[in-house]
Amino acid sequence: MRDVMPKWADVVLIPLISLVLAFLLSAVVIIAIGEDPVAAVKMMVTGALGSTYAWGYTLYYATNFIFTGLAVAVAFHAKLFNIGGEGQATLGGLGVALVCLALPWPHWTLALPAAVIGAALFGAAWAAIPAWLQAKRGSHIVITTIMFNFIGAAVLNYLLVNVMRPVGSMDPATAKFPNGTHLPTLHDLLAPFGIAFSRAAPANISFLIAVAACILVYLLIWRTRLGYEIRAQGHSEPAAIYAGIRPVRIVMAAMLISGALAGLMAVNNVMGEAERLVLNSVEGAGFIGIAVALMGRSHPFGVFLAAILFGFLYQGGAELALWTDIPRELIVVIQALVILFTGALDNMVRMPLERLFLGLRKGRA
């Protein structure tokens, strides 16, 4: 059954058909609430891609989704479903805030590496307990990571309300980070090259870190021994054990890397945009990572493309909500349909396609 279809069909055709199905159903939803889907798409394209300001927001959201998408993808390679990106990114934000508020940072070039380490460490730490419980005690990682999302939210709520809130402030948020932690935006980065980019958009240098993370994850999964072991474990645990691979070590490694990647998202949204830590700063990006990883077939390049697509949907959806009666939640519906078709109903698309390719092959022979 495995080689019924050529590889390009598996990698490109199936996600594409699933995406078209998801978009068609979304169009039906738009028509059902009495709006014009064509006009809606036009408005989304203008609002998300029509100017450097729009691109700045699209890339800002995409940066978040690259990190959370990579996080889910790395865990998928070890056949682990890390649904806890939300909590790990929340804790990553705590790491970033602690780093940024600890010292009067003189310049962002010093603050950024420290914040990256803080975010990755805290994100990984939040994935460590579910990973250990899965590896050693066999507790189902999906359930424990869901639980840790809620525990993480409660921890942050407690810290922001009772500990980290500046004296005299009613807002459950930390103080503003010192000026030395201000990350350069794409405007600052592109200006020396004579490229005019919107000053107001939040896209910042974290986007480059996200791209670097894509490349590093690619190298890790397909060019290192650990990556090979992770994939071997994902394909067949008994075979991996027979080959001398220790499952406990692989589960821990995959989940720690996954948690660190999810935590890194905080460099973008906490340090790069808000410049202070607020309640619910992740805003569901951890869950969007699931859709992004599924669409991108757990490959870093696929994750990158899918993250840009979701960045477009997110920014376009915000524009729709601003100018029409279509609420922002339409994007949640599209996201749900993408997860449903590319993840759960994969066989619905795959089975007829396999039959088609089988027929073609027989016809040729």
Query: Which residues are registered as beta bridge partners of 204?
Result: 185
Residues 341, 16, 38: CA angle, nearest 5 degrees = 90
| Residue 239 C-beta: closest distance to other proteins, Å | 19
CB nearer to other proteins: pick between 29 and 117: 29
**Under the criterion CB under 8 A, does residue 4 sit at the interface with other proteins?**
no
| Residue 167 C-beta: closest distance to other proteins, Å | 18
Answer for the pair 65, 285: CB distance below 8 angstroms, yes or no: yes
The pair of structure tokens assigned to 246 is 């220790």
- The string of DSSP letters for 192-251 reads GGT----SS---BTHHHHHHHHHHHHHHHHHHSHHHHHHHHHHH-HHHHHHTT--HHHHH
| Residue 252 C-beta: closest distance to other proteins, Å | 15
CB nearer to other proteins: pick between 124 and 326: 326
- The string of DSSP letters for 120-189 reads HHHHHHHHHHHHHIIIII---HHHHHHHHHHHHHHHHHHIIIIISSPTT--SSBPPPPPGGGPPPBHHHH
Using CB under 8 A, pick the residue from 6, 49, 150, 222 that binds other proteins: 150
**Under the criterion CB under 8 A, does residue 195 sit at the interface with other proteins?**
no
**Under the criterion CB under 8 A, does residue 278 sit at the interface with other proteins?**
no
- Cβ count within 10 A of residue 310: 29
Using CB under 8 A, pick the residue from 34, 168, 192, 194 that binds other proteins: 34
Q: How many residues bind other proteins (CB under 8 A)?
A: 50
Closest Cα to residue 310, out of 345, 284, 349? 284
| Residue 323 C-beta: closest distance to other proteins, Å | 15
CB nearer to other proteins: pick between 265 and 330: 330
**Under the criterion CB under 8 A, does residue 154 sit at the interface with other proteins?**
yes
| Residue type, position 179, single letter | N
Closest Cα to residue 273, out of 28, 6, 48, 63? 63
Interface segment toward other proteins; rule CB under 8 A; list 177-185, 229-237, 248-256, 332-340: 332-340
| Residue 4 C-beta: closest distance to other proteins, Å | 16
**Under the criterion CB under 8 A, does residue 348 sit at the interface with other proteins?**
yes
**Under the criterion CB under 8 A, does residue 337 sit at the interface with other proteins?**
yes
- Judged by CB under 8 A, the chain residues 63 through 82 that form the site for other proteins are 81
Distant-in-sequence, close-in-space partners of 193: CB < 8 Å, separation ≥ 6: none
Interface ranges with other proteins (CB under 8 A)? 29, 32-34, 81, 83, 129, 133, 137-140, 142-144, 146-148, 150-151, 154-155, 157-158, 161-162, 287, 290, 294, 325-327, 329-337, 339-340, 343-348, 351
